[in-house]
Amino acid sequence: MPQARDPAHSPTILLIGASRGLGHAMAAEFLKKEWNVMGTVRAGSGRTLLHALADAHPDRVEIETLDITRPDEIDALHSRLSDRTFDILFVNAGTTNPDPTETIGEVSTGDFVNLMVANALSPMRVVERLADLVPPTGLIGVMSSGQGSIADNESGQREVYRGSKAALNQFMRCFAARQARTPRAMLLMAPGWVRTDLGGPEGRLSIEESVPGVVNVLLAKQGRPGLEYLDYRGRTVRW
């Protein structure tokens, strides 16, 4: 039987937004691969699925708090982690607008701004602020969506959500362009349409059909410099 890897000598992922859904399932999948996981939940969340994982794997799971829309909390997390390094930083946290069927002509300014802040500005603030916790050869990834693809948008729908993920993709390209000559690996992930609270019951994939692929694609991207936009099966998504 192969020897289990000692947590002290295992790689670690900092996973932002791991309380439930895809983020929680990614944490569980990284544990299966004998990684250590530092996952974040929002302060005041109470007991989440991540807490149950931490109970089952106390030597491998650490829990931190972060609301990605709060710059003061991002700064505070950076200070708390300033003596740590992570092999992967992955920002999974994301949401949708209260009525995803609204067109861009119908959405209120408040709902538009809130979604852009949550899905485009805030993940990039986390990436920009925490990037120095990842060595130059490490991987920084963000959960995008196939719906962020402009080229593949032939059906419309979920217009404001699509716009927020397309904006996220563009900002990640700006981040990558600034470090074009570094060994940094960067990833925008499209997990497929998955049955979670956000994806809804109509989603094409179960969490079990998506997340092992998501994690394998992340692991395979390590050591491959530059930004790629890939789906959960490792296929390139058109910008």
Ligand X SMILES: NC(=O)c1ccc[n+]([C@@H]2O[C@H](COP(=O)([O-])OP(=O)(O)OC[C@H]3O[C@@H](n4cnc5c(N)ncnc54)[C@H](OP(=O)(O)O)[C@@H]3O)[C@@H](O)[C@H]2O)c1
Residues that bind ligand X (CB under 6 A): 17, 19-23, 41-42, 45, 66-69, 92-95, 118, 143, 145, 191, 193-194, 196-199, 203
Q: Which is nearer to ligand X, 87 or 231 (CB)?
A: 231
Q: How far is the CB of 181 from ligand X (least distance, A)?
A: 29
Q: Which is nearer to ligand X, 45 or 179 (CB)?
A: 45
Q: Which is nearer to ligand X, 214 or 225 (CB)?
A: 214
Asked if residue 60 lies in contact with residue 37, where contact means CB atoms within 8 angstroms, the answer is yes
Q: How far is the CB of 118 from ligand X (least distance, A)?
A: 5
Provide the CA 125 distance to its chain's centre, in angstroms: 13
Selection from 138, 225, 223, 219 nearest residue 182 by Cα: 225
Q: Which is nearer to ligand X, 10 or 28 (CB)?
A: 28
Q: How far is the CB of 91 from ligand X (least distance, A)?
A: 8
Q: How far is the CB of 192 from ligand X (least distance, A)?
A: 7
Q: Which is nearer to ligand X, 36 or 92 (CB)?
A: 92
Q: How far is the CB of 165 from ligand X (least distance, A)?
A: 7
Write the CB contacts of 157 (distance below 8 Å, at least 6 apart in sequence).
101
Both tokens of 53, joined, read: 């994982």
